[in-house]
Amino acid sequence: RKQCVSSSSQNRHFQNDEDPKWEFPRKNLVLGKTLGEGEFGKVVKATAFRLKGKAGYTTVAVKMLKENASHSELRDLLSEFTLLKQVNHPHVIKMYGACSQDGPLYLIVEYAKYGSLRNFLRESRKVGPSYMGNDANRNSSYLENPDERALTMGDLISFAWQSSRGMQYLAEMKLVHRDLAARNVLVAEGRKMKISDFGLSRDVYEEDSYVKRSKGRIPVKWMAIESLFDHIYTTQSDVWSFGVLLWEIVTLGGNPYPGIAPERLFNLLKTGYRMEKPENCTDEMYNLMLRCWKQEPDKRPTFSDISKELEKMMVKSRDYLDLAASTPADALLYDDSLSEEDTPLVDCSNTPLPRTLPSTWIENKLYGRISHAFTRF
């Protein structure tokens, strides 16, 4: 493959061998509003005409580089292109095609209607008690939009389970994500979770770990202890990040390690400290988080183990009708009640054993300071 970037050109053109299976005509793509952007890349909403031979227009998302991107960012986008060609799973974001010729590289991926899981969870805090309770409270527009109803504990377990299935698939493909977090899980129509953002992903077909050698911005609060100290990334370091993702889900998009500066984390984690059990979190779910955060990578559960455990929790939540379907509108909403000051850390070694979940726990409805909790983050 030959590639070059012209620094004088406004658009970062490059030469890349065309892949006829994936190439999409640039003229058939109409770019729309920006959905999100980082330091070097952005994602825009777009419409694609006759995508994959389908008549008419399809709403898609398009990933591209910004003007200030360098060779290394282009390499990252190209590696994501190569990687997305290989993946096909209902809980991993799907690529439809790319525009790789005669202009900047565009990756065309499925559109996730509700954006990132982190924002979706935070927005859900705004759904107040008037939306909860019996059917009498529900107006016709509410019934027409089941995706807008208040979240139940069963929904949250389902979000975690769907994410674990996507990660299990990537692990089986020998792919390490390296930046798993609620901001990188997207929520599609029907509240379907999609693992996304492989900008930092690396394939590890040749070895079981990727050692990061270059300095760069790293997501400290989601990183495993061996990634922080030794720059080692494996599927088992993704499992650690999944534990933090579970914490984010249970707290409806809370900030991990509230009030703790990232540079303080290194020593705290090394001495065995972990985040305390969030309010309203079951012992069973918290125990799963703690096992994801074991210091020795091989003592953490695999994504297959995690998926099975979450399935069992779904049975207990009585929302186990169809694992892929949205759960019934049994109203349960969280107030995570975590402030920057009063969230202590807990010593992992003194954690009590999990109790069996009582079958009636989902009926303990939690109404609390919804709007107050939302403003704090």
How many angstroms separate the first and last alpha carbons of the chain? 45
Query: Under 8 Å CB-to-CB from 358, ≥6 apart: which residues?
Result: none
Is 284 known as a binding-site position? Answer: no
Three-state SS at 236: helix
Residue found under tokens 């008690």: 129
Is 365 known as a binding-site position? Answer: no
Strands 106-110 and 175-176: unpaired
Is 148 known as a binding-site position? Answer: no
Is 30 known as a binding-site position? Answer: no
Q: Taking phi first (over 0 means left), then psi (-120 to 50 degrees means alpha), and beta for anything else, what does residue 161 get? A: alpha
- Strand (E) or helix (H) holding 245: helix 235-250
Is 40 known as a binding-site position? Answer: yes
Is 18 known as a binding-site position? Answer: no
The Cα–Cα gap between 118 and 23 comes to: 32
Is 184 known as a binding-site position? Answer: yes
Q: How many other C-beta atoms are found inside a 10 Å radius of the C-beta of residue 266?
A: 12
DSSP codes of every residue in 327-349: PP-----------SSS--EEEGG
Q: Tell me the CA distances in angstroms from 23 to 5, 6, 61, 81, 104, one per residue in order.
A: 20, 22, 16, 11, 13
Is 318 known as a binding-site position? Answer: no
Query: CB pairs under 8 A, 24+ apart, for 131-136?
Result: 131/331, 132/331, 132/333, 132/365, 132/367, 133/331
Is 147 known as a binding-site position? Answer: no
- Catalytic-role residue among 76, 155, 179, 238: 179
The yes-or-no answer on residue 179 being catalytic is yes
Specify whether the CB–CB gap between 43 and 34 falls below 8 A.
yes
The Cα–Cα gap between 6 and 12 comes to: 6
Three-state SS at 31: strand
The Cα–Cα gap between 34 and 198 comes to: 19
Is 97 known as a binding-site position? Answer: no
The residues annotated with a catalytic role in the active site are 179
Binding site for Mg(2+): which residues? 184, 197
Binding site: which residues? 36-43, 63, 183-184, 197
Binding site for ATP: which residues? 36-43, 63, 183
